[in-house]
Structure 1
């Protein structure tokens, strides 16, 4: 069973395939003994990290690695504004939402002000998984339905309910009986097909199948950059038809902004805004507190009304004062340090650099992205566009060996998933392109 799970996770360390330094081999043995068998490590040779700063991570020897993957610390590692906010608030008050305190209100008001006016309320959790779990509960209460529609390689979290509609977790995790998957809107493989129209038809077919089995649709949930499906940003606007279809069926549209949100696309603060739609619920997670546990669900008041009338919601740590202070610092940094504009401009520079490599390296079949979220799809043949999973893995590990960290996405595990922090500079981007070029040559 463990071998199947290892294969289903792209870019995973597999014991016995690589000779490790004795001290790291000992750490892996300790992990296995005390943390159990379910955890996975990234890269053929796992990293032992001891500190981070900005776009850089450092291992136990002091070697620096350019982090172009970890969006949990969306502002970069140990951002001074966030570190100071956490330390200051931890010395004043750290309590939950059953007491009155002003910071949670100040932050909630500032957060919802970044959304369309229809989305005016927020509930806080600790993780994106919890946020999606809560969104599901709210959707079921609002619609009376149980049916869930997701894309074929979606990832939305790890609670039991949410893992059941996260097919990217692999065949070792069963999908729920009320879950239907639809193909992701892949423009690169669509030919002359209108991807928006095709996605709408696929969602309508899933709705019909749910009804055929006596199940009422509750929600369509998508990561608005379709990151686990291979980073599928465009064309902007293609979501509108599918959103209309789920609403016509009595369901809700949930935008999972855990990865696309907080200015990452450069074009907008939230990924759904690129598509000209206003969701019923928006879920937030990892980047919200730059690593401090805070997440949430932003929603239309009418959508949550029935849930709030019939259910009590309480999360001991969701919305605690220290996490709200961190989250406020994140918003302030994005707004005052021009990080959304940096995502747009540096992201475009990085995208252009990778596209330039595609002119010399036939393995790169497609380069696509929005802001500081880029996917480069590897193919064995540009004519057939057949996936080259093996080369993708070799390049990722060759870049790791050269001091640059990325990972893999897509149902065929053949897309470089490039997701730098919002503080990524043009110099960082140039280094990334240079190292990617070297890795492509070395793995040819």
Structure 2
């Protein structure tokens, strides 16, 4: 089986991997065989600039992280029922980055496990089960979290998995295209308007004779379209939830570990202290490790219920060695500071693109977490979903890996490794400028062999026709 061709790999995947396991660029997926820093390489050694892998937080295959895991694996790997220095060292390092109230750590394998455990902690502490979540949220793939994740739940058509009555959705505070928009309300009112929705929902829950267990949200909503909450939103929501006896859970799985730039944790940008914080993905730089951090009071409530918590792999010595190494690199290479510097540069360059191209309706982001909201019309803000699909396909042809997200799949989503540079930004913006010009002019850069037929979903000819781009070049009849 060694040395499979790309087609052999595809054939075996079709035979043995579930169809629900999606690929990027499904019509012509990329076979990645190695990676380093912010670059990935296919089987032909083509180099791709990686703008999407927030998992490899400090850069693909970082030597310090790889060495730490390898060394520990040669000595010992076992479960956390045995005493070991790595688990307590990592717990200490993590809590030192957080507000002092958050001092108790539970280790898991993934963000999904972390969020599932956070729900358990909340329910045992409050003795209630009703949860408030944001529309468009995604918190993980296990059943308890699909219940909370309209991002996935809304796509399930067979009627088997439906939102439980104990889960209550509230409008996502998207000030660009949400329930309350910045072109309809003063910006200083938006946080209160969205937070008042939470208060009204709590009143409805109480009127039905139920009590709130908690509120869970990403500190910045990722899958919902790179949403940055209005200043003061979380402070107001936390007060409403605490007044109702509930707890607050901040999901930092995609946005933590310095990605916001000016803080280690994105919730700190809103000036709040959650009752529970979950973290994952970047914590192991590609290795499966995650964690839940909470208060002593909530931890005591969980312990008093009589249920022992044990996770076979959570907190094992190898995972914790890797987690410690990731924290080392963030600090030694000043990656938080880099996220702030390069992230600010991204915003400047993207806004320059916005000045040139009407298709960009909004530029939003903090640190290395940035979204371009593409529109057909800036006044109506109608989402340009097909155009976004085209941009992603063309970027792939230009050897840049990018993704799109949001309810309309029209938001170009950037969350690269934290070693991303200003030179990388310049290269990306040069290609985006070129592609936006193609859309505007109706021209598509293709060779006679139709190399661009490999895109995210439909064939390129159908896609180009859908957004009004001349497709005669597909037959080699027009020079581009």
TM interval, short-chain normalised: over 0.9
Distance of 1:409 and 1:174 partners within structure 2: 22
For 1:58, the equivalent position in structure 2 comes to 41
Contact 1:178 1:210 in 2 (8 A): no
1:28 aligns with 2:13: no
Q: Does 1:183 align with 2:171?
A: yes
Q: 1:68 aligns with which of 51, 73, 79?
A: 51
Equivalents in 2 of 1:26, 1:177: separation in Å? 46
Partner of 2:23: 41
Deviation at 1:24, TM superposition (A): 4.2
Secondary structure of the 2:291 match is strand
Matched, 1:82 2:65: yes
Query: Mean Cα displacement is larger for which, 22-31 or 432-441?
Result: 22-31
Gaps of 5+ in 2: 441-480
Deviation, 1:388, is 1.0
Give 1:239 deviation, angstroms.
1.2
Query: CA separation in 1, counterparts of 2:406 and 2:265?
Result: 22
2:173–2:230 Cα contact (<8 Å) kept: no
Task: Say which of 421, 428, 436 aligns to 1:425.
Answer: 421
Flag structure 1 segments of 5+ consecutive residues without an equivalent.
1-21
Go from structure 1 to structure 2 and tell me whether the alpha carbon gap of 1:214 and 1:269 turns closer, same or farther (over 3 Å shift): same
Q: Is the 8 A contact 1:237 1:274 kept in 2?
A: no
Are the equivalent residues in 2 in contact too, given 1:368–1:376 (CA < 8 A)?
Answer: yes
1:76 deviation in Å? 1.1
Post-superposition Cα deviations, 1:218-264, rounded to whole Å, max 9, x if no partner, equal 11111111112211224333211011111111111100001111000
Give 3-state SS (helix, strand or coil) of 2:407's partner.
coil
Which residue of structure 2 lines up, in the alignment, with residue 171 of structure 1? 155
Determine if the alignment matches structure 1 residue 298 to structure 2 residue 293: yes
2:369 to 373, 391, 416: 373
Aligned partners of 2:90 and 2:323 also within 8 Å: yes
Cα offsets for 1:70-99 (capped at 9, x unmatched): 111111100111001000110111111100
Would you say 1:250 and 2:245 are equivalent positions? yes
TM-score, normalised with respect to structure 2: 0.86
1:398 maps to what in 2?
394
Check whether the contact 2:174–2:228 (CA below 8 A) recurs between aligned residues. no
Task: Write out per-residue CA displacement over residues 369-428 of structure 1, whole angstroms, 9 at most, x where no aligned residue.
Answer: 100000110111001111111111111111111111111121121111100111111111
Q: Give 1:433 deviation, angstroms.
A: 1.0
> Which residue of the partner structure matches residue 159 of structure 1?
142
Deviates more, 1:164-173 or 1:149-158: 164-173
Root mean square deviation of aligned Cα: 1.5
Query: How far apart, in 2, do the equivalents of 1:240 and 1:126 lie?
Result: 30
Secondary structure of the residue aligned to 1:307 is helix
Match of 2:304 among 282, 306, 309: 309
Aligned to 2:437: 441
For the 8 Å contact 2:280–2:289, the answer to whether it is kept is yes
Q: CA distance change for structure 1 residues 92 and 236 in 2, over 3 Å: closer, same or farther? A: farther
Measure how far apart 1:209 and its partner are. 3.0
User: 2:35 and 2:267 mapped to 1: Cα distance?
Assistant: 31
- The alpha carbon displacement at 1:213 in A equals 3.7
- Deviation of 1:293 after TM superposition, in Å, equals 0.9
Q: Confirm or deny: 8 A CA contact 1:123 1:297 kept in the other structure.
A: yes
* C-alpha spacing 1:24/1:206, structure 2 compared with 1 (3 Å): farther
Checking the alignment, whether the CA contact within 8 Å between 2:114 and 2:292 is kept in structure 1 is yes
Cα displacement (A) at 1:160: 0.9
Q: Distance in 1 between matches of 2:388 and 2:273?
A: 36
Check conservation: 2:191, 2:231, Cα contact below 8 A: no
Q: For residue 212 of structure 2, what is the aligned residue in structure 1?
A: 217
What pairs up with 1:269-284 in 2 under 5 angstroms? 269-284=264-279
Deviates more, 1:276-285 or 1:304-313: 304-313
Shift of 1:52: 0.4
1:248-298 residue CA offsets vs partner (Å, 9 max, x unmatched): 111111000011110000010001100110000000010001011110101
Cα pair 1:375 1:415 within 8 Å, conserved: yes
Find the aligned partners of 1:435 and 1:257 in 2 and give their Cα distance: 31
Equivalence for 1:131: 114
1:25: how far off? Answer: 4.8
Cα distance in 2, alignment partners of residues 206 and 270 from structure 1: 28
Of 206, 227, 230, 1:232 maps to 227
The match for 1:11 is: none
Asked if residue 120 in structure 1 is aligned to residue 108 in structure 2, the reply is no
| Bigger radius of gyration among the two | 2
> Which of 167-176 and 311-320 deviates more?
167-176
Q: State the aligned residue count.
A: 423
Structure 1 stretches of 4+ with a deviation exceeding 6 A read: none
Q: Which residue of 2 aligns with 1:204?
A: 199
The structural deviation recorded for 1:23 is 5.3
